[in-house]
Amino acid sequence: MSAQPVQYYFEVYEESFTKAPAWSVEAITPFPAVSIGDRFNHLALDAAGGRNVSEEEEYRVVDIDHVFSAIEGKLTCKTMVKIMLSHRNQEY
């Protein structure tokens, strides 16, 4: 079996994985690891949705889902990250 190229997707969701992603990107190289509780820099979300987050608030990763598929000979790896707006000093 020979190695095949993999297409990587990173999708950010607010509140639920059932809604369309608030922001997404794709690449031909893997994305860095993400963990529950990580802070999520919201600048891309602000630009995409016209949001303003106060200095006392921040987005945190609250759930992660990984989807692997092979469709029509194309391998894909999708990382789906759910974020939630929280107070900056909240512990996880």
Quote the DSSP letter at residue 46.
H
Residues 22-67 pLDDT 10s: 889 999 999 999 999 998 876 666 555 556 667 778 889 999 999 9
Helices of type H across the chain: 43-49
> Which sequence spans correspond to the domains of the chain?
6-87
Share of the chain above pLDDT 70, in %: 82
- pTM for the model stands at 0.80
Query: What distance in Å separates the CA atoms of residue 89 and residue 33, rounded to the nearest whole number?
Result: 23
Least confident span in 4-13, 21-30, 61-70, 81-90: 81-90
